Amino acid sequence: MKSVIDIRDLSVGEIEELIGVASDIILHPGRYAHLCEGKKLATLFFEPSTRTRLSFEAAMYELGGQVLSVAGAASSSAAKGESVADTAKVISCYADIIAMRHPKEGAPLVAAMNASIPVINAGDGGHNHPTQTLADLLTIHREKGRFRDLTIGFCGDLKFGRTVHSLITAMERYEGVKFILISPEELKLPSYVKKPLKEKGIPYVQTTDLLSVMPELDILYMTRVQRERFFNEEDYLRLKDSYILTPEKLRTAKADLSILHPLPRVNEISVAIDEDPRACYFKQVLNGKYMRMALILKLLGLEKEVAYEH
């Protein structure tokens, strides 16, 4: 029984397999529509979420499974003081797999250590968000056809942006990838994410200036400044509009740039860019559902059911 807490819990080969399954689901959804019949996914979200929770739930329904949902800490026993470990043991009696989001870094890991069913980290504080990374990877795969030899710019809140941490951790495993880290001084990438880049000699550049690096980028990953992780509102207000992507700023960008954003967008990307063929953020949402379908199948040991029929 395997859980996915960190994107490194999946090897490069396993990610390739998931992309294969997700691509097959896109082509032949009917073949997958009943594979999870009789199985239940519990979504435990102790932090606000719209798309991630609904994406997991839609994924399970499209596989023919069912969903048990706890939508917020206020309505669950956590409000009575129950530990994450106990919650995980209890939910293991009701469901076959858990997707958990929690404001505390490490909470899904504690759940995985105590559950008798697979646990998927659906975002833990400012730490990791591996299933958003699966959505990002499928998007990059579909847009670029490769993971190697890409220059990727991450722009915005690189300190608290957990999707950034997980995607860098995933992409650093491919040859020829270069990272350009664009953020205000106060929101630079944490050293624990940078350390493996230094150790492996993977090229990265840190800058505060988006415009000067724009012509180099194959992928631009924009992020929201993570208001809920700030200690004071003043700092948030000062930093929130550090980068706003507008059509003028794209003037020097490559014609085949892919613009990604995990959403929700606040105002980091002008809506005028939504119609630009380089904007991929709404495709990313759909890709996230397909990758979550593939991941649920894998963790329940059902992914071979269809492959065997081929």
Applying CB under 6 A, which residues contact ligand NCD? 51-52, 123, 129, 132, 162-163, 224, 262-264
Nearer to ligand NCD, 202 or 259 (CB): 259
| Cα torsion 181, 184, 187, 192: sign | positive
DSSP-derived 3-state class of residue 88:
helix
Closest CB 250 distance from ligand NCD, rounded Å: 21
Closest CB 223 distance from ligand NCD, rounded Å: 6
Output the six-digit token pair for 18: 């998931």
Output the six-digit token pair for 285: 């949402």
For the chain, where are the E strands, in sequence order? 40-45, 66-70, 97-102, 119-124, 151-155, 178-182, 204-207, 219-222, 258-260
Nearer to ligand NCD, 50 or 77 (CB): 50
Closest CB 69 distance from ligand NCD, rounded Å: 16
Nearer to ligand NCD, 3 or 284 (CB): 284
Nearer to ligand NCD, 92 or 284 (CB): 284
Closest CB 281 distance from ligand NCD, rounded Å: 10
DSSP-derived 3-state class of residue 165:
helix
DSSP-derived 3-state class of residue 167:
helix
Nearer to ligand NCD, 108 or 123 (CB): 123
> Cβ(144)–Cβ(278) under 8 Å?
no
Nearer to ligand NCD, 94 or 282 (CB): 282
Spatial CB neighbours of 238, under 8 Å, sequence gap ≥ 6: none
> Cβ(40)–Cβ(154) under 8 Å?
no
In 10 A of CB 32, how many CB atoms?
A: 22
Q: Amino acid identity, residue 7?
A: I
Closest CB 121 distance from ligand NCD, rounded Å: 11
Which alpha helices (DSSP H) does 100-232 contain, by range?
107-114, 130-144, 162-171, 191-200, 210-213
Closest CB 154 distance from ligand NCD, rounded Å: 13
The number of CA neighbours under 13 Å toward the Cβ of 183 is 25
User: Angle 51-62/281-299 helices, nearest 10 degrees?
Assistant: 50
> Cβ(100)–Cβ(44) under 8 Å?
yes
Nearer to ligand NCD, 139 or 163 (CB): 163
Closest CB 175 distance from ligand NCD, rounded Å: 28
Nearer to ligand NCD, 136 or 218 (CB): 136
Nearer to ligand NCD, 203 or 264 (CB): 264
Closest CB 269 distance from ligand NCD, rounded Å: 12
What's CA 274's distance to the chain center, in Å?
Answer: 21
How many angstroms separate the CA atoms of 157 and 303, rounded? 36
